[in-house]
Amino acid sequence: MPFGLSNSPAVFQALVNDVLRDMIDQFIYVYLDDILIFSSSLQEHVQHVRRVLQRLLENGLFVKAEKCIFHAQSVPFLGYIISTEGIRVDPDRVKAVVDWPSPDSRKALQRFLGFANFYRRFIRNFSQLATPLTALTSPRMTFRWSYTAKAVFAKLKSHFVSAPILIAPDPSRQFVVEVDASEVGVGAVLSQRSSSDDMMHPCAFFSHRLSPAERNYDFGNRELLAVKLALEEWRHWLEGSGVPFIVWTDHKNLEYIRTAKRLNSRQARWTLFSGRFDFSLSYCPGSKNIKPDSLSRIFDHSERQSTPECILPETLFVSTLTWEVESRVKTALEGVTHPPGCPPNRLFVPEGYRSDVIRWGHCSNSESSRSQ
């Protein structure tokens, strides 16, 4: 192909797909001039390699031996390291992230986040870690590389070094989808039991920030939304899978959503969509549903609890009433211990002041009576 033509990659990809069409997804993956051949045994692998090379030769396509890797247990492919253990990040790419200098402009920060976003599937809580940096990319905010941004930048880079290995999904084995929802987001984890140790290992992570409208959903609808979004995210693995998969949720009422007699329009649409999948909903208590629960709460970035704001104008407020007798009671209680059985959050009134308290409550100008 000549260099410089904008449609050259698409034309070349179509050519390779046409030449190797019957082998793609059977024992090879192809992206432009990168061909990944996988087999279950060495003898089978030799046959697959010969078939691919013979097909390329017949169609006038050639490969350079020095650019090829044969009979390897681990190979780099499109930024990942593919091995018998699973999929992990490429150390060379990780080194590029670790050595990345601190951004000095909004464009530089966008380049870093775009590069880091490629590996977000390996990093749990990626959105939570990157949100302070993502906020700086908004043109409505002044770009200021603060101490907090610097700390988040360093913490995010450190997570690339310790990124877990994701096992390659096996369509012949059962999938497990764990979902959870909070007030600010939903999270999900796609897992499978490994054939080597029969332990549950993650295949992919997913998290979604709730929109303002979605935050108005009640708890049950948010949990159902988490199921719907997880099925959409991994539809290519779950729809039509040979083995029915399991969806774990910490909302027990969802176990009966598919047999409910009355559904609102939103629930009906989502239930109709889920009918395309062969799965069962199982209840998992929140204390055991830790992984998706953490992912669903990663968008809550408030460092402190938000305090409710009053919407009434200040002109409508009247000065707070104060009880004169209350100060007298507190003065009398100095050095006096409360009698046994007195609630700790209640004001103990000595016997000598009780008549004054009753008289003030019933005969004052406020004409109010407080009782607990």
Q: What is the pLDDT along the chain (372 residues), one digit of tens a residue?
A: 566 677 788 888 888 888 888 888 888 888 888 888 888 888 888 889 899 899 888 888 888 888 888 888 888 888 778 877 777 777 777 777 777 888 888 888 888 888 777 777 777 667 667 778 888 888 888 888 888 888 888 888 877 776 666 777 888 888 999 888 888 778 888 888 877 667 777 888 887 878 889 888 888 888 889 999 999 988 988 888 888 899 998 888 887 877 778 888 888 898 888 888 888 888 876 555 544 554 555 445 444 445 556 666 666 555 555 556 667 767 777 767 777 777 766 777 777 777 877 777 676 555 444 444
- Dihedral sign from CA coordinates of 355, 357, 363, 369: negative
Does residue 112 sit in the same domain as residue 195? no
Instruction: For 201-225, give one letter per residue: b (16+ CB within 10 A) or e.
Output: bbbbbbbbebeeebeebeeebbbbb
185 conformational bin, left if phi > 0, alpha if psi -120 to 50, beta if neither: beta
Report in angstroms the alpha-carbon separations of 46 from 61, 139, 368: 19, 55, 93
**Which domain CATH number covers 271?**
3.30.420.10
- Tally of domains in the chain: 4
Residues 223, 338 contacting (CB under 8 angstroms): no
Does residue 190 sit in the same domain as residue 254? yes
Does residue 261 sit in the same domain as residue 152? no
The pLDDT score that the predictor gives to residue 372 is: 46
At residue 34, φ and ψ (nearest 5 deg) are -100, 120
Does residue 236 sit in the same domain as residue 284? yes
The pLDDT score that the predictor gives to residue 357 is: 73
Q: Is the pTM of this model over 0.75?
A: no
The pLDDT score that the predictor gives to residue 166 is: 76
Does residue 330 sit in the same domain as residue 355? yes
341 conformational bin, left if phi > 0, alpha if psi -120 to 50, beta if neither: left
Does residue 57 sit in the same domain as residue 101? no
Domain assignment of residue 62, given as a range: 8-71
- In total, the chain counts a number of residues equal to 372
Domain assignment present for 340:
yes
Residues 190, 248 contacting (CB under 8 angstroms): no
Query: Is beta strand 87-89 parallel, antiparallel or unpaired with respect to 74-77?
Result: unpaired
Domain assignment present for 66:
yes
DSSP lists the bridge partners of residue 205 as 189
The CA distance from 299 to 27, in Å, is: 40
Domain assignment present for 133:
yes
Q: Is 340 exposed, middle or buried (0-12, 13-18, 19+ CB in 10 A)?
A: exposed
Does residue 258 sit in the same domain as residue 292? yes
Domain assignment present for 315:
no
Domain assignment present for 170:
no
Q: Indicate the angle between helix axes 91-98 and 147-161, nearest 10 degrees.
A: 160
Domain assignment present for 168:
no
Does residue 208 sit in the same domain as residue 284? yes
**Which domain CATH number covers 126?**
3.30.70.270
The pLDDT score that the predictor gives to residue 303 is: 42
Does residue 188 sit in the same domain as residue 264? yes
DSSP lists the bridge partners of residue 329 as none
Q: Indicate the angle between helix axes 126-136 and 106-117, nearest 10 degrees.
A: 160
The CA distance from 347 to 338, in Å, is: 9
DSSP lists the bridge partners of residue 154 as none
SS3 28: strand
Does residue 94 sit in the same domain as residue 156? yes
Domain assignment present for 371:
no
SS3 207: strand
Does residue 217 sit in the same domain as residue 281? yes
> Residue 306 carries which side chain, given as an amino acid letter?
S
Does residue 191 sit in the same domain as residue 255? yes
The pLDDT score that the predictor gives to residue 342 is: 75
The pLDDT score that the predictor gives to residue 305 is: 46
Domain assignment present for 97:
yes
